[in-house]
Structure 1
Amino acid sequence: MKRFLGLAALAATVLGHSYTAQAAGIEFGVGHTSQSSMTYRLGLKSDWDKSWLQSDVGRLTGYWDGAYTFWDGKKSSSSNSLSFSPVFVYEFAGETVKPYIEAGIGMALFSKTEVEEQKLGTAFQFEDRIGVGLRFNGGHEVGIRATHYSNAGLSSTNDGVESYALHYTMPL
């Protein structure tokens, strides 16, 4: 556990320095797993500052996401994870509120290979996400997201785990 916390501190320092130049916001999330555990997420987001397919309907853009998640399992099955993911966002046009949909595939490193009864097989997991939300003028954002973690067959044990979360992002 001490080793994982040391790695988490190092990753937070490195991620913090890399986000300083283009920081978009800090994200707070609360979720629930498919196994009834709570999740608490703290993330940093950095916009790509690029857009494609821009029209009157909206635009395609994206961001880098780095996060720490605490998985509050029952008994001694609590876990921690660090994740990093590129996320594509289709942002619909709007003046003060812009609805969006997002999807991304990244990676995560768990402190344990078990979350509740789910046997992950490896500490390294792929992170797949899909979500919807609202972006407000001034950079604030609220949304809901489904995230799936799996080792994609790197181990014969691969139960995977899902999290369904509400999140709020405030600009830095």
Structure 2
Amino acid sequence: MKKILIVLLFVVSSLFSFDKMSLGYSTTSDDSNIFDVTVIKNTDYKIFGLPVSFEGSFDYMDSAHESDDLFIGSIQGVLTYNFNKDFFMQGGFGFAYLSDKSFEDKKFGTNFQFKESILFGYNISDSFSTTLRYNHISNADINDDNSGLDIYGINFIYKF
């Protein structure tokens, strides 16, 4: 089922004129496995001279210790700083929706969450990049239950 979703998202992303697509693997401090598919749209906008892009992401999180799983859908705005033509850094802020209000022993309080990201990347070629990524997802204390998620991962990006 996961493979079908990845292929479907790849086909759909090319139809809606996204600029990039990313496939990634991540983990949490509890060793949960996370597989993600992200579509990226570049814009002509700049903030503080940095290019702005938008990401839409779908993550599947599988528990390493229990028979628990979680789906995460998110959107976020991203700023990119290019060190040179090969290395870059990005920071993002957006919103996430979790399929459940709990996962393993974590309680999130609400399905609606905030998402912050920072990543460091390397352009392998004109068409491919790879990144090391850190995401933090939490409800910013809107609810007393706010375990949050700290996610560390690697992504491979294809530029259309």
- TM-score > 0.5 by shorter chain: yes
Q: Match of 1:82, as an amino acid?
A: G
**Residues 143 and 36 from structure 1, CA distance in 2 versus in 1: closer, same or farther, beyond 3 angstroms?**
same
Structure 1 residue 26 and structure 2 residue 9: aligned? no
Measure, in 1, the Cα distance between the counterparts of 2:95 and 2:117: 11
Q: How does 1:132-151 map to 2 (within 5 A)?
A: 132-151=120-139
For the pair shown, the structure with the greater C-alpha radius of gyration is: 1
Aligned residues: 150
Is the contact made by 1:115 and 1:161 (CA closer than 8 Å) also made in structure 2?
no
**Residues 52 and 155 from structure 1, CA distance in 2 versus in 1: closer, same or farther, beyond 3 angstroms?**
closer
**Which ranges of structure 1 fall in alignment gaps of 5 or more residues?**
1-7, 55-59
Measure, in 1, the Cα distance between the counterparts of 2:120 and 2:52: 13
Structure 1 residue 46 and structure 2 residue 41: aligned? yes
Once the two structures are aligned, what percentage of the paired residues are identical? Answer: 23
**Between structures 1 and 2, the one with greater strand share:** 2
Is the contact made by 1:120 and 1:151 (CA closer than 8 Å) also made in structure 2?
yes
Is the contact made by 2:59 and 2:71 (CA closer than 8 Å) also made in structure 1?
yes
TM-score, length-scaled by structure 1: 0.79
TM-score, length-scaled by structure 2: 0.84
Structure 1 residue 120 and structure 2 residue 115: aligned? no
Q: How does 1:35-114 map to 2 (within 5 A)?
A: 35-51=30-46, 60-73=50-63, 74-94=65-85, 98-114=86-102
Measure, in 2, the Cα distance between the counterparts of 1:159 and 1:128: 15
Which of 161, 169, 172 does residue 149 from structure 2 map onto? 161
Q: 3-state DSSP class of the match of 1:48?
A: strand
Measure, in 2, the Cα distance between the counterparts of 1:48 and 1:139: 18
Shift of 1:24: 1.2
Shift of 1:157: 0.7
**Which ranges of structure 2 fall in alignment gaps of 5 or more residues?**
none
Shift of 1:117: 1.6
| C-alpha RMSD of matched pairs (Å) | 2.2
